[in-house]
Structure 1
Amino acid sequence: MFDTDIYNQKMNEAIDHFASELKKVRTGRAHPSMLDSVHVEVYGTKMPLNQVSNITAPEAGMILVTPFDVNNIATISAAIRNDQSLGFNPSDDGRLIRVPVPPLTEERRRQIVKQTSEKVENAKIVLRNIRQDVLKHAKKAKEDKTITEDDLRGIEKNIDSQIKDFSAKIDEMFKSKEAEIMKV
């Protein structure tokens, strides 16, 4: 019999990845995960910011970065400033780094929604690729005579139904995030 569990797991992983990508999208409120993409060169190695500092968001418009080693303050500030996709201008007082998060303009909100919709399309492409893999392996199994023509049709119907459900879940997650982004 043809096993679709591996493909279900791949689709769930695609949804989880999409959810983690949505968490990175800026919505106007400061959040420590906004700095997840920042990598800092310390001790001769490029490391994620959260491994060399403590990151908090004490208020809606501010992120505080407290380095574990105060000697790295200038390097951390430069790394945050150099990440052009963030557009932040951090300031430090010798002990910690303050990263003001400016409020989003209407134009910037629309731009963020557009970028997020590209992530939606990428997630759906991943689902379609998984569907193609399932159908390819199912047709191969039919050629090898391990499944029948009826089994193949059942698998196609089942996978199409699952893809439709997962796609609807992605759309629902996007609508929720879009509302969050556009809310002033």
Structure 2
Amino acid sequence: MFSNVSSDILNNIFLLMKKKIKNFNIKIDKFNIGKPSVDIFNNIIIDYYNVPTPLKNISNIIVKNSTTVQITVFDKSMVNIIKNSIILKNLDLYPYTADNHIFIPFPVLTTEKKNKIVKIFELESENAKINIRNIRREGNEKIKLLSKNKQISLDEEHLYLNKIQLLTDENILKIDKIILKKINSIKKI
């Protein structure tokens, strides 16, 4: 019979790893990879009359053409605040305004810039893998402590350690697939 505590540990590991994968995805989606994407604006928060508000809640963001994103701001008085927020995010983008619209041209990436982005992606993927392995290590320590304290049997310990390793392997594979897809999309530009 399996211990509820060890099942809780396993479930917690699953949730922590899932969260790390989600955070990794969010982090690399922020990068300007040379083609217009509304995704890089998803995490921009604007101080909208002293209330932190996601940009997408106070504007309409669309890909206007193959090189430009257009943001139509609902409240014209916020245009310059939003433009400055985009500049301050250090996305290597230089927006300009017209009426209640903000236009963000995406520069064509040079080979040097593509290589730089690939290196950043590889570094970020390695950091994500380290986070996943740290979660594994902490989970393994908790399971071994349960076994040491005779709360679970040695067979259960080995079973849970194997399950934790499988979760780790699955999540590292997810990271590899995500980063491979991103790198391939950069190389196609």
TM norm structure 1: 0.88
* Residue number among 161, 170, 178 corresponding to 1:173 in the alignment: 178
* Residue number among 8, 11, 14 corresponding to 2:14 in the alignment: 8
1:47 Cα deviation (Å)? Answer: 3.2
1:174 Cα deviation (Å)? Answer: 0.9
Instruction: Quote the Cα distance in structure 2 between the aligned partners of 1:87 and 1:27.
Output: 10
* Residue number among 74, 79, 94 corresponding to 1:68 in the alignment: 74
Contact kept, 8 Å, 2:74 with 2:100, in 1: the verdict is: no
4+ residue runs of structure 1 moved beyond 6 angstroms? none
* Residue 124 of structure 1 pairs with residue 129 of structure 2: yes
1:48 Cα deviation (Å)? Answer: 2.9
Contact kept, 8 Å, 1:26 with 1:181, in 2: the verdict is: no
Secondary structure of 2:36 counterpart: coil
* Residue 96 of structure 1 pairs with residue 95 of structure 2: no
* Residue number among 145, 149, 152 corresponding to 1:147 in the alignment: 152
Contact kept, 8 Å, 1:25 with 1:116, in 2: the verdict is: no
Instruction: Quote the Cα distance in structure 2 between the aligned partners of 1:22 and 1:47.
Output: 22
Instruction: Quote the Cα distance in structure 2 between the aligned partners of 1:152 and 1:170.
Output: 27
* Residue number among 140, 157, 161 corresponding to 1:156 in the alignment: 161
Instruction: Quote the Cα distance in structure 1 between the aligned partners of 2:149 and 2:139.
Output: 15
| Structure 2 CA distance for partners of 1:25 and 1:78, relative to 1, 3 Å | closer
- Could you tell me which amino acid in structure 2 is paired with residue 30 of structure 1? P
* Residue 42 of structure 1 pairs with residue 48 of structure 2: yes
1:182 Cα deviation (Å)? Answer: 1.6
1:153 Cα deviation (Å)? Answer: 2.4
- Could you tell me which amino acid in structure 1 is paired with residue 88 of structure 2? N
Deviations 1:8-53 (A, max 9, x none): 2322232233233333233321011222343333323443322322
Instruction: Quote the Cα distance in structure 2 between the aligned partners of 1:180 and 1:36.
Output: 20
1:78 Cα deviation (Å)? Answer: 1.9
Deviations 1:152-174 (A, max 9, x none): 22322332233122212211221
Instruction: Quote the Cα distance in structure 1 between the aligned partners of 2:52 and 2:66.
Output: 29
Instruction: Quote the Cα distance in structure 2 between the aligned partners of 1:80 and 1:153.
Output: 50
Contact kept, 8 Å, 2:32 with 2:92, in 1: the verdict is: no
Secondary structure of 2:60 counterpart: strand
Instruction: Quote the Cα distance in structure 2 between the aligned partners of 1:162 and 1:38.
Output: 32
- Could you tell me which amino acid in structure 2 is paired with residue 91 of structure 1? Y
Secondary structure of 2:34 counterpart: coil
Secondary structure of 2:62 counterpart: strand
Unaligned runs of 5+ in 1: none
| Structure 2 CA distance for partners of 1:12 and 1:42, relative to 1, 3 Å | closer
* Residue number among 15, 24, 35 corresponding to 1:29 in the alignment: 35
Q: How many residues align?
A: 183
Contact kept, 8 Å, 2:75 with 2:100, in 1: the verdict is: no
